[in-house]
Amino acid sequence: MHQRVLAASVGIAALALALTVVLLAQVPAAAQAPKAATPAATKPAPATKAAPAAKAWTVPRTPEGVPDLQGYWTNNSYTPLERPNGVTKEFYTLEELRQVEKKNAEREEEQTTPGTVADVHYDFTQFGLDRSQTRLADNLRTSVITNPENGKLPPVTPEGQKRAADRAAERKKQGAQYDQVQNIPIGSRCVWMNAGPPMMPPGYNPAYQIVQSPGYVTILVEMLHETRVIPTDGRPHAPAGVRSWMGDPKGHWEGDTLVVETTNFNDKVAFRGASENMKVTERFTRTSDDAIRYEFTVDDPSTWERAWKGEMPFVKIGGPIFEHACNEGNYGIANTLAGARKEEKKAAEEAAKKISTK
Amino acid sequence: MRARFLGPMMIAAAALLEAAPAPPQAPAQAPAYRAPRTKDGKPNLNGIWQAVNEANWDLEGHGAAPGPFWQLGAEFSVPPGMGIVEGGPIPYKPEALQKRKANFANRMNLDPEIKCYLPGVPRAMYMPYPFQIVQSTDPIMMVFEYAGAVRTVYMKKQPAPADSWMGWSNGRWEGETLVIDTTDFNDLSWFDRSGNFHSDALHVVERITALAPNHLNYEATIEDPKVFTRPWKISMPLYRRIEKNAQVLEFKCVEFAEDFIYGALRKVPLK
């Protein structure tokens, strides 16, 4: 929303990527579009397709004998991280879910209305920038968060509150959003999007490919061609000084579940306000030919009073995944900054004119 | 000497024939080495690999040269290299050679590496960073440290949906050798920091063969009728990163390139 208005005021066609950020579930406040108005879209394993309590189904295995998670997957979903205000139950009925999906899809489609600002730069349908064009990973849950049971993030610790205030103050010192590229949200800058962890669904391009080789599970994330190469050989985490956006993932198998523990985040990820000490534990369990259950725990005692958990399904889609070269074609950043400079110049000229005519 | 070598080589050759019923197109290096096999019986190329040469500065042989900014002193100067182009200089068409020279003259503005752009192929293979081969039956992926670039090599041939930076790679096994045929490139990547370039007609055929447990032989035939008078070839070894804790780490360089790309558009100019 915010982005669209800004783009208009700058008087240029802003980039698609700005919209990405609006759509991204993990982006704080701004991203949480109309919260109460748009109930979470989730959806269950649809009774229709999802293997009807498969009798004979057994977990497929790789040549090495571990569960086979390979293939193309999506977690495409309207389900918000936190339960919307006004929703008190944990699950929707399938009928309610379809309503929620419909409402969300309509909201996204509004952006294709001819003559509107949002429609100026993109044809959502043409470029696949709305979720309804990809299979939805049905999830009946009203929030991704399963614990706390109210579907909301736990209370933030005093230390976490102070950090949030410090970060906000620091951002403010850097000036307005279009003063310099560094002030623009990282998603728009093609630095970090939805690879996580935790791997939250993006606003578009919600595709993943899992490839397994001996001792590794590798997840290619379509957005930003991010690749998580996860060793499962029991090696320790990288030294504390080795920090990164996606962190240092180390995996192991617990029965038929892939458990991935990620640490060593940098202090810029700040997922939902987290510190660099955040630890994310993910659990991938193949539940049918068509689905993987994805559960995660976010543990950062310096930010939240307790660890919190989430869950969502990944379901099968067709491939292949095409190269998402983001930085290479990020004309929107240059255009937006140039527009802002132009507007400043114009304002300065007008101010000067006023003075001279006085 | 000769007699001692012959025995093992014959055994290896016999093993090779046994393993590869389809007559392998004798790779140029004719390796007597038989790589360990994956569970599905293919040469196991899994691992973290890295070129140890100076091709990223210039594919062709070159002497040492100063770096771009005097402030950097000896750091970031150009290390000398013997080059990895087989059989003489790169066979540019005359007009393409002019462009290559112009590229070189303006390399500090034009080299896609400066902007953290995807490196293309074969450049990704010899940049001074490690990459990992993730070999399943199909596909085989290559995950590069530089810019988080990635290639997916389809072992069941798939058509390219469109042009891209890294091209579209279809692979096949020829005995001990992984052969990768890559097409559908855009015309934006370079081969090195010296302005060696290609067009969107680029066609790269790579042959990757294990030479020993910790060495691969890499060769690539580069064909681009818009730019070169004939196909030409590069070759080099790739070395396994044998450190126990070797890992392809995250090197997201976009952040480091942003002021290069957008700095002129800052409200408050850079000092």
Cβ contact, residue pair B143, A229, below 8 Å: yes
Residue of A nearest to B250 (CA): A244
> How far is residue B40's CA from residue B155's CA, in Å, rounded to a whole number?
13
Residue-wise DSSP of B45-69 = --EEEE--SSTTT-SS-B--B--S-
Q: What is the pLDDT of residue A128?
A: 64
Q: What is the mean pLDDT of residues B231-251?
A: 97
Q: What is the mean pLDDT of residues A169-173?
A: 94
User: How many other CB atoms are there within 10 angstroms of residue A334's CB atom?
Assistant: 15
Cβ contact, residue pair B165, A328, below 8 Å: yes
Cβ contact, residue pair A213, B135, below 8 Å: yes
Give contacts of A321 with chain B, Cβ < 8 Å: 152
> How far is residue A179's CA from residue A349's CA, in Å, rounded to a whole number?
19
What's the mean pLDDT when you consider all of chain B? Answer: 90
B95: buried, middle or exposed (CB in 10 Å: 19+, 13-18, 0-12)?
A: exposed
Q: Are A278 and A265 in contact (CB under 8 A)?
A: yes
In this model, does residue A5 exceed pLDDT 60? no
The minimal CB distance from A238 to the residues B115, B162, B247 is found for: B247
Give contacts of A337 with chain B, Cβ < 8 Å: 262, 265-266
pLDDT tier for residue A355 given thresholds of 50, 70 and 90: confident
The minimal CB distance from B255 to the residues A191, A227, A246 is found for: A191
Cβ contact, residue pair B137, A63, below 8 Å: yes
Q: What is the pLDDT of residues A129-161, one digit of tens each?
A: 678 778 999 999 999 999 999 999 999 999 999
Q: How far is B13 from chain A (nearest CA, A)?
A: 27
Q: What is the pLDDT of residue B32?
A: 84
Q: What is the pLDDT of residue A189?
A: 96
Q: What is the mean pLDDT of residues B73-92?
A: 95
Q: What is the mean pLDDT of residues A60-69?
A: 96
> How far is residue A157's CA from residue A166's CA, in Å, rounded to a whole number?
14
Q: What is the pLDDT of residue A116?
A: 65
> How far is residue B270's CA from residue A270's CA, in Å, rounded to a whole number?
27
pLDDT tier for residue A180 given thresholds of 50, 70 and 90: very high
The minimal CB distance from A220 to the residues B115, B150, B165 is found for: B150
Q: Which of A61, A178, A213, A237 to mutate to test the interface with B (most CBs of B within 10 A)?
A: A213
Calculate the alpha carbon distances from B46 to B43, B209, B215, B219 in Å. Answer: 9, 12, 12, 18
pLDDT tier for residue B26 given thresholds of 50, 70 and 90: very low
Cβ contact, residue pair A327, B152, below 8 Å: no
The minimal CB distance from B118 to the residues A229, A235, A325 is found for: A325
A107: buried, middle or exposed (CB in 10 Å: 19+, 13-18, 0-12)?
A: middle
Give contacts of A324 with chain B, Cβ < 8 Å: none
Nearest CA to A282 out of A292, A272, A290 is that of: A292
pLDDT tier for residue A124 given thresholds of 50, 70 and 90: low
Q: What are phi and psi of B240, to 5 degrees?
A: -75, 135
Residues sharing a CB contact under 8 Å with residue A176, sequence separation 6 or more, in sequence order: A183, A340, B267
Q: Are B59 and B191 in contact (CB under 8 A)?
A: yes
What is the distance, to the nearest Å, from the Cα of residue A358 to the centroid of all Cα atoms in its chain? Answer: 53
Q: Is the preceding peptide bond at A197 cis, omega within 30 degrees of 0?
A: yes
Q: What is the pLDDT of residue A65?
A: 95
Calculate the alpha carbon distances from B67 to A117, A122, B133 in Å. Answer: 47, 43, 32
Q: What is the pLDDT of residue B145?
A: 98
The minimal CB distance from A213 to the residues B134, B165, B267 is found for: B134
Q: Which two tokens stand for residue B218?
A: 């890499």
The minimal CB distance from B265 to the residues A245, A246, A341 is found for: A341
Calculate the alpha carbon distances from A325 to A34, A334, B119 in Å. Answer: 30, 16, 11
In this model, does residue B245 exceed pLDDT 50? yes
- Positive/negative CA dihedral, B204, B209, B214, B215: negative
Interface size between A and B, measured as CB pairs under 8 A: 125
Residue B197 forms beta bridges with which residues?
A: B190
Residues sharing a CB contact under 8 Å with residue B56, sequence separation 6 or more, in sequence order: B113, B123, B126, B127, B128, B192, B193
In this model, does residue A348 exceed pLDDT 80? yes
Q: What is the pLDDT of residues B45-69, one digit of tens each?
A: 999 999 999 999 999 999 999 988 8
Give contacts of B39 with chain A, Cβ < 8 Å: 62-64, 214
Q: What is the pLDDT of residue A133?
A: 79
Cβ contact, residue pair B134, A216, below 8 Å: yes
pLDDT tier for residue A108 given thresholds of 50, 70 and 90: confident
Q: What are phi and psi of A241, to 5 degrees?
A: -75, -15
In this model, does residue B23 exceed pLDDT 80? no
ipTM passes above 0.90: no
Domain ranges of chain B: 35-265
> How far is residue A149's CA from residue A309's CA, in Å, rounded to a whole number?
9
Cβ contact, residue pair A334, B265, below 8 Å: yes
Beta strands in B175-260 (DSSP E): 177-183, 203-212, 215-223, 232-240
Give contacts of B137 with chain A, Cβ < 8 Å: 63
Cβ contact, residue pair B149, A225, below 8 Å: yes
What is the distance, to the nearest Å, from the Cα of residue B93 to the centroid of all Cα atoms in its chain? Answer: 23
The minimal CB distance from A181 to the residues B249, B262, B268 is found for: B262
> How far is residue B132's CA from residue A312's CA, in Å, rounded to a whole number?
30
- Terminal Cα distance for chain B, rounded: 66
Cβ contact, residue pair B117, A328, below 8 Å: yes
What's the mean pLDDT when you consider all of chain A? Answer: 84
Q: What is the pLDDT of residues A258-307, one digit of tens each?
A: 999 999 999 999 999 999 999 999 999 999 999 999 999 999 999 999 99
> How far is residue B204's CA from residue B220's CA, in Å, rounded to a whole number?
6
Q: Which of B252, B268, B271 to mutate to test the interface with A (most CBs of A within 10 A)?
A: B252
Give contacts of A344 with chain B, Cβ < 8 Å: 267
> How far is residue A36's CA from residue A34's CA, in Å, rounded to a whole number?
6
Q: What is the pLDDT of residues A20-61, one digit of tens each?
A: 333 333 333 333 333 333 333 344 444 444 455 557 899 999
> How far is residue B102's CA from residue B190's CA, in Å, rounded to a whole number?
13
In this model, does residue A73 exceed pLDDT 80? yes
What is the distance, to the nearest Å, from the Cα of residue A1 to the centroid of all Cα atoms in its chain? Answer: 17
In this model, does residue A201 exceed pLDDT 90? yes
Q: Are A73 and A293 in contact (CB under 8 A)?
A: no
Residue of B nearest to A238 (CA): B245
Helix axes A331-357, A16-23, angle to 10 degrees: 100
Q: What is the pLDDT of residues A245-262, one digit of tens each?
A: 999 999 999 999 999 999
Cβ contact, residue pair A245, B250, below 8 Å: yes
Q: Are B164 and B186 in contact (CB under 8 A)?
A: yes
Residues sharing a CB contact under 8 Å with residue A357, sequence separation 6 or more, in sequence order: none
pLDDT tier for residue B19 given thresholds of 50, 70 and 90: very low
Count the residues in chain B.
271
pLDDT tier for residue A110 given thresholds of 50, 70 and 90: confident
Cβ contact, residue pair B258, A189, below 8 Å: yes
In this model, does residue A120 exceed pLDDT 60? no
Residue of B nearest to A72 (CA): B139
Q: How far is B44 from chain A (nearest CA, A)?
A: 10
Higher pLDDT, A22 or A117: A117
Q: What is the pLDDT of residues B100-145, one digit of tens each?
A: 999 999 999 999 999 999 999 999 999 999 999 999 999 999 999 9
Q: Which of A10, A68, A323 to mutate to test the interface with B (most CBs of B within 10 A)?
A: A323
